[in-house]
Amino acid sequence: MAPKQVRFKCLMCGHEYDGMYDHENVTERSCPKCRSNSIRRLPDAKVAKS
Amino acid sequence: MMDVGRHPKVELFTNSEVENVTGFVGNFNVTIRKKARYVDANECTACAECAKVCPVAVPDEYQQGFSSRKAIYMPFPQAVPSAYILNMDNCLGNNPIACGKCADVCEKHCINYDDQDELVNIEVGVVITATGMDVYDPTEYDEYGYTRFDNVITSMEFERLICAGGPTEGHFIRPSDRKIPQKIGFIQCVGSRSQDGRGNPYCSNICCMNTVKDTLLLCDHYPGVEAKVFYMDMRAFGKGFEDLYMRSKEEGVKYVRGIPGDVVEDPETRNLLLTVENTTTGKLEKHELEMLVLSQGVIPRQDGDSIRKLLTLSQTSDGFIMESHPKLKPVDAPTKGIFIAGCVESPKDVKDSVTQASAAAARASILLNAGKTKIEAITSQVDTELCNFCGICAKVCPYNAISASDRKAEKPPTIIAAACAGCGACAAECPQDAILMRHFRDEQIMAQVEALVKDDPEKHLLTFACNWCSYAGGDNAGTARLQYPTSSRLIRTMCSGRVDEKFVMHAFKMGAPMVLVSGCHFADCHYINAVHWTQKRMDRLWNKLDKLGIRVDRLQLEWISAAEGQKFAKVMRELEERVQTVTDEEIEHTKKVLAEEEAKAEAKKKKKAKAGAEVSA
């Protein structure tokens, strides 16, 4: 599975941002705003809806 | 190297690559590809007659391209074995009609154009990884003019030029006019300690003392030479290093605290003009130099990924191999029976590399001499009754300790207890709950969840903390007397990868307002990459909660290292505030939804079992 652009949401501060997601090569996520690691990768359907 | 080559108990494979490694401590099977050399190394006397007649000349890699070599060549003067090698990429062809001059002239008939790669299998008890490092390529620092000006060279190129065995026989001449320069500058930290996105953020450790040594060599070879070193910090921390640094200063070497921002060349003299802010005086200075040496940093081996994967080694964020424990097991890899030495672990000088290599050899010999090894009881086992042979466990295992199952043959996976480190990622990922842990069992953790949320569940933050980092981070916060709410309840697991979806769901079902899963930072994971599965699982869990209409921010994830007591306390304080926002209605709704889900799943399971029984009947 090739790396793709996805939307992330910080569950601590609510900040949303775009980033690359590679299923094979997972990297540590941290919120660029509050540094929390509770970063949810938003499902594609949810991003399209919003 | 010569000693190693001659040692009766050392079998040396040169010009070879490790193709595959299987097995576990005491029983590794290594497949090595011995690449075709096209020259019989046992017969070759290194007379050099072949190289004399070879018509092909290519830049000599060992001499940094300052001189040329032939297609058939000796890699470097002290190479072991002391024999020539033929590079087929450079050779005019293995057809003797095309050239064949080297074969004609070789009296010992050592040259064999039909030589083939050979695969060798060896059984070893332990493996020491010492694959070294590469040097940083400074071309991206365009302001120093490395690609534009002939008289800007790297520290590796300097090394060849000043070496008596180098292309100029030790005469340090500048490439533009072959004259001996009198004003030479050195720029430190090229590609190291960089925060601007170029190069690397870490200190390369060896460059400061290498430059001090280079300046002393210059002063020794050419008394009266004017050498200037542009630096941000000189790090002379080793034994005798400060003395060497002081000696360099006494020899007249000028140390300027400041990294040049720009280098331009005078087209007539080919001299270089540096602009630098001297941070000691706070003034902008201009320096005219005849030659400039870029003190390049050290980077992890660019072709080291395959060996890292074969040996299930983990790497730090800067790309070097991670040790099992930085203080207590500095030469052990997380996988038992594998050790690391030298720059593969981090940039280091010869002395440190030798020290580490000796330690690795000693650690290896302890295992080999004992002949047997103790393993931790915390390992996993397969319940063959429940296993549906999906193979997920084998895919998840960071140690390759689980052999793949065979769905067609209905063969369950087998777990090599000696290779299993007990992270529990396989048990957490198994969709059939067919992997059982010998310790930290599902029932034990579920019972802990129930006990901790028994009284006033709505007030408590339930935290799953990994043994090595987050739990230790909590300890750190405690010993540092950092204040954090007392309402948090901790459950220790060996790894955050052990935290099964059902533990989290069970906590919510029991009325926990919030759950925190915490583990090691990716670079600190004690189980190679088990923590990656935690993150993937959390994504799944958040989606599941969302689907069930449960607030996703009630499940949090934090990476907390053993040294981050402050972060632990901060997270606990922040989540305590969040616990207050979870209403009783929300908790009741969650309990209801999850109870319904559980009932549905149970009904589905019964239906499936019934259908299975009918089919078999």
Give the pairing type, strands B57-59 and B68-70.
antiparallel
| A38/B556 Cβ within 8 A | yes
Alpha helices in B229-298 (DSSP H): 241-250
What's the mean per-residue pLDDT of chain B?
Answer: 92
Chain B residues whose CB is inside 8 A of the A46 CB are: 546
Chain A residues whose CB is inside 8 A of the B529 CB are: 26
pLDDT at position B258 is 95
pLDDT at position A49 is 61
CA distance A31 to chain B (A): 11
Domain B375-439 fold: Alpha-Beta Plaits (3.30.70)
CA dihedral B602, B607, B610, B615 (to 10 degrees): -140
CA distance A24 to chain B (A): 10
pLDDT at position B154 is 96
What is the Cα–Cα distance from B542 to B508, expressed in whole angstroms?
Answer: 13
Chain A residues whose CB is inside 8 A of the B558 CB are: 36-38
What is the Cα–Cα distance from B1 to A1, expressed in whole angstroms?
Answer: 44
pLDDT tens by residue, B138-177: 999 999 999 999 999 999 999 999 999 999 999 999 999 9
Chain A residues within 8 angstroms (CB to CB) of chain B? 11-12, 26-30, 36-41, 43, 46
pLDDT at position B128 is 97
pLDDT at position B602 is 85
Residues, chain B = 617
**% of chain B exceeding 70 in pLDDT:** 99
* AA identity, residue B551: R
CA B264, chain centre distance (Å): 38
pLDDT at position B28 is 94
pLDDT at position A50 is 58
Give the pairing type, strands B272-278 and B262-265.
antiparallel
What is the Cα–Cα distance from B24 to B8, expressed in whole angstroms?
Answer: 26
* Domain B135-299 listed as CATH 3.50.50.60: yes
Residue B206's alpha-carbon distances to A14, B199, B236, B347, B353, in angstroms, are 44, 16, 9, 7, 12
| B556/A12 Cβ within 8 A | yes
Here the ipTM equals: 0.94
| B327, B468 contact by CB (below 8 A) | no
Considering only CB atoms, A37 lies closest to which of B532, B553, B557, namely B557
**Backbone phi, psi, residue B375, to 5°:** -120, 155
| Residue owning tokens 């210059």 | B218
What is the rounded average pLDDT of the residues B582-596? 93
Residue B487's alpha-carbon distances to B394, B453, B514, in angstroms, are 38, 11, 11
pLDDT at position B516 is 97
pLDDT tens by residue, B463-491: 999 999 999 999 999 999 999 998 889 99
- Of B2-6, B263-267, B379-383, B463-467, where does mean pLDDT reach its minimum? B2-6
Sign of CA dihedral B565, B569, B570, B574: positive
Whether pLDDT at B397 is above 70: yes
* Domain B441-617 listed as CATH 2.60.40: no
pLDDT tens by residue, B112-135: 998 999 999 999 999 999 999 999
- Of B1-15, B115-129, B198-212, where does mean pLDDT reach its minimum? B1-15
| A36/B536 Cβ within 8 A | no
| B539/A37 Cβ within 8 A | no
- Of A29-43, B89-103, B115-129, B329-343, where does mean pLDDT reach its minimum? B89-103
| B452, B413 contact by CB (below 8 A) | no
| B144, B260 contact by CB (below 8 A) | yes
**Would you kindly state where each structural domain of chain A is located, as residue ranges?**
4-42
What is the rounded average pLDDT of the residues B548-562? 95
**Would you kindly state where each structural domain of chain B is located, as residue ranges?**
2-122, 135-299, 303-370, 375-439, 441-617
Give the pairing type, strands A4-10 and A16-21.
antiparallel
Considering only CB atoms, B557 lies closest to which of A27, A38, A43, namely A38
| B532/A11 Cβ within 8 A | no
Q: Omega before B181 cis (within 30°)?
A: no
